[in-house]
Structure 1
Amino acid sequence: MSHSLDVDGLLSDASVRIVVCCGSGGVGKTTTAAALALRAAERHGRHVVVLTIDPARRLAQSLGLTELDNTPRAVTGMDESAGGELSAMMLDMKRTFDEVVAAHTEPARAKEIFANPFYQAMSSTFSGTQEYMAMEKLAQLRASKDWDLIVVDTPPSRSALDFLDAPARLGRFLDGKMLRLLIAPAKAGGRSVFNLVTASFGLFSKAVQKILGAQLLTDLSGFVAALDSMFGGFRERSEQTYRVLQDPQTAFLVVAAPEPDAVREAAFFAGRLGEERMPLAGLVLNRVHQTGAAEISAAEALAAADSIAAEFPVAADALRIHAAVAEQAEREQRVIGRFTGEFPQVPVLAIAAQATDVHDLDGLRAILA
């Protein structure tokens, strides 16, 4: 039997420095992350920064900010009586990639990388770049002394597992043997790498050019040659951040809605976190429907409505509304039971469905009230 998640106990624990909200798209991760960050600052005096990777502007709006960018912005209008502070930011993956390049290469080499067409495309649209740069930014924030709690809203992905997989994939790509091979022309005084190896590899090179195109291969080779000084760093930082995610200072919260697909995805993610030995703190269920009179079942409400409909039509309508909500709540509990049955040790926090969308700090406070 799953037990209730003590969210205040989690947020007040000074040993917890990172809270990662993850789950499939459309389940309320962004709002949940903002609500948790606000509560940690207002109630528990934490110095919090919330990092969102969601391209939508909902987080900025709910925190009373006109916009968010790659630099943390202080949130105003919050209750500071507990001594807490809250800042918010939205990941700019290209700017973060630029920062990484600038920090780990000489200025002239960085300028060469920035001008390379392959880098320009990769830093903006390459698969896995967003998730990898989220990990890079997390490492930067963790190294800063400005915050004692970082709340991460993971990228909206087709699969929630992408947040764990993509950084490693990109790190392997940037540090891979094929890219190292492409560096060879620059190291060989401009001679083609294909003149330095066997004729059979020359046939392979023609196949590669046919698939990628000669210009793309040229851009890629130039990009890798310019990036040579950074090889090893991508993988090393990715592995270091991965180890941080396995540490008790990190708490993962799987966010879901009481819908079959979302709960199924949450179960996959919970299983994966267990396999990777990452600390799963609990399941947050958003938009859970509840009735004000749980002791009256849907069937009882409908029967009562039918018996009084002629004499008390308004009361009968109210009973039918209660029955509809009760039926939905029962369906949701059956769906939730699939997760709790598989992971009975995982604490659960159920958040009631809100009457309106969240647009301000009061709305965020109401979520965890």
Structure 2
Amino acid sequence: MSDLVARLEGMRVVVCAGSGGVGKTTTSAAIAMGLAARGARVCVVTIDPARRLADALGIEQLGSEPRRVDDERFAGHGITIEGELWAMMLDPKRTFDELIERLAPDEKTRDEILANRIYRELSGAVAGSQEFTAVAKLYDLDRSGQFDVIVLDTPPSRNALDFLDAPDRLTGFLEGRALRLFLAPSGLAAKVVGRGTSVVFGVLRRVTGVDLMNDLSVFFAALSTVLDGFRERAAGVKALLADGATAFMIVTSPEREPVEEAIFFGGKLREAGMPFGGLVVNRVHPLAEDGDEAVDEAVIAAELGGDAALARKVARTLREFRVLAHRDARAVERLQREIGDQDPIIVPHLDGDVHDVDGLVLVHRHLFAEGAERSALLSEAAF
């Protein structure tokens, strides 16, 4: 059993978090593929509107509902999917609308909310932040029982902190004094539709055709019918994120800013009491055992048939690689110390950008390699 399989054994939800540009989407897809290959029914969900997940899986397009990935895409790479691999790209606005449809007490209330101008503007703003709709969808997928494991590719880590806070922020808004004033029969909502403002709204209606007073009245009346459902959903989402069957994987690279982001996020996970699943460090330049030995251009030239000019270029490239390798080694040591994972999963710097099934399979190989195989793979990539 590989180290990653052992870490994720029994997990229902795997949340991959990290800063942008560190291979988080590819890592999420590779984890999902690896678990599906071992017999699980897995759905990988991305919030990123870019096509990275679809490209990595070799799919032309992903929609807002889970789509089964053809197992034959991986057969040519020696990977047999014993379970099922599904994928989807979250549509935040659609997800928010679906939540209203589910929570509305009847069809009339549902239609009034969805058609309301105030709701359309507000839901667009809420959905635009992505975080709450992401965890709401995660909650629904988990509750559906359709999948054994759900792998979520989150926004970059500072936004992922918003992702962690989303249930509390929603509950705080719903239970806040400002909203209660609006919803109270004698509160601010009543004053808004009072005599003075009704004249203004009447002029606005005649000039623009927009009946803002009616929109406000319908919106607040309808909103009051779904508040309890929102509160219950927020509580359920919060419980799911803190559940022992949820694992947060921190994905980073050895560069300075992603390392700082990873350490920052790791600290926030500890403060929030969230379950930490492990650390994945992508794009590492591994250092060979003889990496500190001097580079002998004469030896290199001899191996190249006496081409001194080419030997100088090769030697310079080798020295530069070793500088990066030492930097990466220091970064990994700091990550181990600050985050507390003494055995992070290392994925070496790969030739070219990982953007297709070939690259995905290669990343999967490093993620799921067992002890001796892990060491051998890193040795192959070392200089």
Which range, TM-score by smaller chain?
0.7 to 0.9
Corresponding position of 1:18:
13
Give the corresponding residue for 1:169: 169
Spell out the pairing of 1:125-136 with structure 2 (5 A cutoff).
125-126=125-126, 129-136=129-136
1:175 and 1:232 in contact (8 A); partners too: no
Q: Is the 8 A contact 1:33 1:151 kept in 2?
A: yes
Q: Alpha carbons of 1:157 and 1:254: their partners in 2 closer, same or farther (altered >3 Å)?
A: closer
Counterpart residue identity of residue 137, structure 2: K
Q: Deviations over 1:130-185 (max 9, x none)?
A: 10011110111101222101100112465431211234223322443322321235
1:153 is aligned to 2:153: yes
- 1:8 equivalent in alignment to 2:5: yes
- Secondary structure of residue in 1 paired with 2:49: coil
Whole-angstrom CA distance in 1 between matches of 2:232 and 2:12: 21
Paired residue type of 2:180: R
TM-score (norm 1): 0.83
Tell me the CA shift for residue 359 of structure 1. 3.2
Q: Match for residue 305 of structure 1?
A: 297
| Separation in structure 2 between the aligned mates of residue 308 and residue 38 of structure 1, nearest angstrom | 41
SS in 1 for 2:294: helix
* Residue-by-residue CA offset, 1:98-152 (whole Å, 9 max, x unaligned): 1111111111111111122222122223377410011110111101222101100
Structure 1 residue 312 displacement after superposition = 4.3
Distance across 2 between alignment mates of 1:36 and 1:159: 22
Aligned residue for 1:231, secondary structure, equals: helix
Residue 123 of structure 1: aligned partner: 123
Quick check: 1:282 aligned with 2:278? yes
The CA deviation string for residues 172-231 of structure 1, in whole angstroms up to 9 with x for no partner, is 22443322321235x89x953687xxxxxx9xxxxxxxxxxx998985564232111111
Structure 1 window deviating more from structure 2 (31-40 vs 229-238): it is 229-238
Deviations 1:268-299 (A, max 9, x none): 111111122111111111111225x44132x7
CA distance in 2, matches of 1:216, 1:155: 35
The equivalent of 1:210 in structure 2 is none
Q: What is the CA–CA distance in structure 1 between the aligned matches of 2:119 and 2:359, rounded to whole Å?
A: 41
Would you say the 8 A contact 1:135–1:241 is kept in 2? yes
Query: Given residue 165 of structure 2, which amino acid in structure 1 is its aligned partner?
Result: D
- Name stretches of at least 5 consecutive residues in structure 2 with no aligned partner: 198-209, 366-383
Does structure 1 conserve the Cα–Cα contact (< 8 Å) formed by 2:158 and 2:261?
A: no
- Counterpart-to-counterpart distance in 2, 1:262 and 1:56: 20
Q: What RMSD in Å do the two structures reach over aligned CA positions? A: 2.9
Which residue is 2:102 aligned to? 103
One-letter identity of the residue aligned with 1:102 = E
Of the structure 1 ranges 216-225 and 330-339, higher mean CA displacement relative to structure 2 is found in: 216-225
Q: Any stretches of 5+ residues in structure 1 without a counterpart?
A: 196-201, 203-213
In the alignment, the residues of structure 1 paired with residue 157 and residue 263 of structure 2 have an alpha-carbon distance, to the nearest angstrom, of 16
TM-score (structure 2 length as normaliser)? 0.80
2:35 is matched with which residue?
A: 40
Deviates more, 1:314-323 or 1:86-95: 314-323
Q: Cα distance 1:28–1:247, how it changes in 2: closer, same or farther (>3 A)?
A: same
**Identity over aligned pairs, percent:** 44
Number of equivalent positions: 340
